[in-house]
Chain A
Amino acid sequence: MKTPAASPDTFVDRLSSRIESLQEGFRKLSRSAGLPDLAKRFAETVGETVPGAAVDIVHRSGDAGPWTPLVTSGSLSDGVLARTAGEKYTLPCTVRRENAYLIVVQKLADKSQLGIMMIPGDGGGEFSEADVVSLRLFVQYFDNAYQDLMFRRNEKGLVFSLNHRVLQLNSLIETGIEVAKLDHHDAPHHLAIVRAASLTNAARGVVTVSSGKEVREEYTFPVGTVVNRSSRDMNSIVARFSFLENTYRFELFDKESRSGATPFEETDHLLLDALARQVHASLENRYLHEQALEKQRIEQEMSVAASIQQKILPVGLPDIAGYDLWGTNIPSKSVGGDYYNCIPLYDGRFALIIADVAGKGVPAALLVSSLHAYLSAYLEGSFALTRLAARLNKVLYNDSTADKFITAFFALLTPENGDLECLSAGHNPAYILRNDRSLVELHAGGLPLGTIDMDLPYKSERATLQKGERLFLYTDGVTEAENESHVLYENEFPVTDFLARHVPDSSETFIDELLVDIRKFTRSAPQNDDITAMYLRRLAGPSQ
């Protein structure tokens, strides 16, 4: 700067003496955190290099528009703004002298403009050529530092953006794992809408579960947010799917940016779709898991029922002198409620019982258990068969639900003479095969046990089993065994025909042959009901 008492130094000497401070100035500018900071450092550096000079700095984003002051030095500001407002200074960078001022307008790398005005200090005087060169150099430094600043800012933005993509990918995977957790307490669609809002920078989200026109659930994020329906079309994205009878609709609203709202991007759609698909898969898996648990529960129940039933059924039937008795029970996969037994009575007679409970599973097995218990109790005393049936009907009616009842066939055998008293409580008829191969059907009785409590009478009938003759009792698992075409065994092979044609010398052989014949008919078709049968053969020889 020229002063009235000018220094004797030459221009080159003065310029050289400033090199060190220029280098330091450059280093200082390069460490700037932002444009205001850069401008502040610039003003300080210029002030140090050109002692006494004051600096004002303004900035605008383009060729036109208002200037924004970055550094002001009191009264100069208004003057600088006034002088630079009218496009007076042409580009590129030219240092102009105006009165005592140095003024420069520099176009920066991002096409924004920087305006600088330097005025001599209180001592007055004019700026020297060295000052002009210094200012020009500093403006170049400023431009370089500004480019570096933008580069660092872009780099930071890229790193942030990259990290955010990693975060989105990571969260997508983690959300998939979380929504797939079967024991997760939150509903998967709640978690998904929260994550979707967060990852897409949506201001809010809502997931709606509806069935037809009925909205069953609406969950908003943040909780309690009132969704502005009118803004939906303006800035929202949607993903939906249907599962069972419900439609799940995920909707995000108002994508945020630092400057306010911004349109959703394609990747936001993809992300919302992906999360919705994960929820869909999770709901399907939960449903299938529940089905599997239910199946497992039923199988366990069946196992319990089978256990109850097997404990009730006799391990072996009693030996009756002069008779050959055999019975069997082949439980189906879904446990039914078949029962058979032969119980010796106090008076030397034997009670042959075969029964079938309506229904399956534990309830049926428990009802069989009740029947077994009542029989054991009642058969210890003296009774009439019809009265026994009536009492059983009453107690089992009290024990069972409306859809549960028992069909049963009772035959009381007097071994000495082959006398039989028979009663069918709604059960299949029993048959006696006479020695002449004729069949006698036994069907007298009444309603199944436990159906109605109106003291309706039961009837019994009597018959005599001669030596060599046979009695056959069975449940409908025999006659209603199905083949793969759902044809009943009875329709193709009436059990009466089988009885007449098969007269082996052993009751066990008869039962075995019957089972083989049924299996031959049903082939690979699953057994859908218990198969239970009893066969009593009165031996022919006097010594037997």
Chain B
Amino acid sequence: MDQEFSLTSELRDMRLVIATSGYVNNVGGGAISTEFGRHFDTGVREVVINLAQSKVVNSIGMSFLLEILEKLHEAGGKLIFTNLDPAVEKMLTIMGIFNLAGKAATVDEALKSF
């Protein structure tokens, strides 16, 4: 099961790809939000969050993801989640995340779908 949280990010043609590892909780959600905000302020509006190494998300972590989602939505941007563990995918579905966000099997697939 999940370790302590960490993340990496990269920009691909003004598209932000964040890959997380570990428990997406207050700490993890906050770190994702900070990383997102840093790039959003520079005009990035298309974001991929790869949750392959995050098997557990709590509702505090999800609230951060929702905020990112709303911010992008208001700015006409788009967020796509990839590499979802079935349990995490079900959680995000129940929490209504996919009403606004997309999902894809892989990062490459997500990048092609923008």
The answer for the CA separation of A222 and B56 in the assembled complex, in Å, is 9
Contact of A257 among B3, B22, B26, B70 (CB under 8 A): B26
Q: Please, which residue of chain A has its CB at the minimum distance from the CB of B56?
A: A198
Of chain B, the residue at the smallest CB distance from A164 is: B59
**CB proximity of B85 to chain A, nearest CB, Å:** 12
Q: Scan A143-176; emit 1 where CB is below 8 A from any B CB, else 0.
A: 0000000000000000110011011001100100
Q: How many A residues are at the interface, by size bracket?
A: 20 to 34
A204 to B, closest residue via Cβ:
B23
From the candidates B27, B58, B90, B95, name the one contacting A163 in the complex (CB within 8 A): B95
Any chain A CB within 8 A of the CB of B80?
A: no
Instruction: Tell me if B57 is interfacial: C-beta within 8 Å of chain A.
Output: yes
**Complex Cα–Cα for A497 and B13 (A):** 105
Pairwise interchain contact B26-A256, C-beta atoms closer than 8 A: yes
Within 8 A of A (CB), among B44-66: 56-60, 63, 66
Interface string of B84-95 (1 = CB under 8 A from A): 000100110011
User: Known: A33-B74, A203-B26, A223-B3. Contact between A197 and B94, CB under 8 A?
Assistant: no
| B26 CB to nearest chain A CB (Å) | 4
Give every chain B residue within 8 A of A201 (Cβ-Cβ): 25-26, 58-60
Contacts of B95 in A (CB 8 A): 160, 163-164, 167
Candidates A170, A190, A260; contact of B94 at CB < 8 Å: A170
Q: Are B3 and A197 in contact (CB under 8 A)?
A: no
- Contact between chains at A170 and B90 (CB < 8 Å): yes
Q: A167-B91, A194-B56 are in contact. Are A224 and B3 (CB under 8 A)?
A: yes
CA–CA, A47 and B101, complex, Å:
36
User: Would you call A199 an interface residue if the criterion is a C-beta within 8 Å of the partner chain's C-beta atoms?
Assistant: yes
Q: Does A225 sit within 8 A of B, measured CB to CB?
A: yes
B10 within 8 A of A: no
Interface centre among B57, B59, B60, B70 (most CB of A within 10 A): B59
**Chain B 66-89 interface residues, beta-carbon cutoff 8 Å to A:** 66, 70, 74, 87
What residues of chain A lie closer than 8 Å to B23, measured between beta carbons? 197-198, 221-222
A169 to chain B: closest residue by CB: B94
A93-127 residues at the B interface, CB under 8 angstroms: none
Contact check: which of A198, A225, A257 meets B57 at CB < 8 Å? A198
Which chain B residues lie closer than 8 Å to A163 at the CB level? 94-96
Interface centre among B25, B27, B56, B90 (most CB of A within 10 A): B25
**Chain B contacts with A in 88-114, Cβ cutoff 8 A:** 90-91, 94-96
Point out the residues of chain B lying under 8 angstroms from A258, CB to CB.
26, 60, 63
Give, as a whole number of angstroms, the nearest-CB distance from A237 to chain B.
15
* B3 partner, pick from A33, A160, A198, A222, beta carbons under 8 A: A222
Q: Write the B10-30 contact mask toward A (1 if CB under 8 angstroms, else 0).
A: 000000000000110111000
Q: How many residues of B contact A (CB 8 A)?
A: 25
In whole angstroms, what is the CA distance A194 to B3 when docked?
Answer: 11
Q: Across the interface, do B2 and A221 meet the contact criterion of CB distance under 8 Å?
A: yes
A167 to B87, CA, bound (A): 11
Give bound CA distance, A110 to B58, whole Å. Answer: 29
Give the distance to chain B from A182, nearest Cβ to Cβ, in Å. 20
| One of A160, A203, A225 near B63 (C-beta < 8 A) | A160
Of all chain B residues, the one with the shortest Cβ separation from A161 is B59
Indicate if the CB atoms of B1 and A203 lie closer than 8 Å. Answer: no
Q: How far is the CB of B59 from chain A (nearest CB, A)?
A: 5
CB distance from B90 to the nearest CB of A (A): 7
Of the listed residues A164, A171, A174, the one surrounded by the most CB atoms of chain B closer than 10 A to its CB is: A164
Task: Specify which of B4, B66, B74, B94 is in contact with A166 (CB 8 Å cutoff).
Answer: B94
* B2 lies within 8 A of A257 (CB): no
Q: How far is the CA of A160 from the CA of B44 in the complex (A)?
A: 27
Q: Chain B nearest CB: distance from A278 CB in Å?
A: 16
Contact present for A222 and B2 (CB under 8 Å): yes
Instruction: Report the minimal beta-carbon distance from A463 to chain B, rounded to whole angstroms.
Output: 79
Contact yes or no, B25 A190, CB < 8 A:
no
Rounded to whole angstroms, the CA-CA distance of A202 and B25 in the bound complex is 9
Q: Can you list 28 pairs linking A and B with CB atoms under 8 Å apart?
A: A33-B70, A159-B96, A163-B94, A163-B96, A166-B94, A167-B59, A167-B94, A167-B95, A174-B87, A190-B1, A194-B1, A197-B56, A198-B23, A198-B56, A198-B58, A201-B25, A201-B59, A201-B60, A203-B26, A203-B27, A221-B23, A222-B2, A222-B22, A224-B3, A224-B4, A256-B26, A256-B58, A258-B63
Interface of B toward A, CB cutoff 8 Å? 1-5, 22-23, 25-27, 56-60, 63, 66, 70, 74, 87, 90-91, 94-96
Q: A190-B1, A258-B63 are in contact. List 16 more A-B contacts (CB 8 A).
A: A160-B66, A160-B95, A163-B96, A164-B59, A167-B94, A194-B2, A194-B56, A197-B56, A203-B25, A221-B2, A221-B23, A222-B1, A222-B23, A256-B26, A256-B58, A258-B26
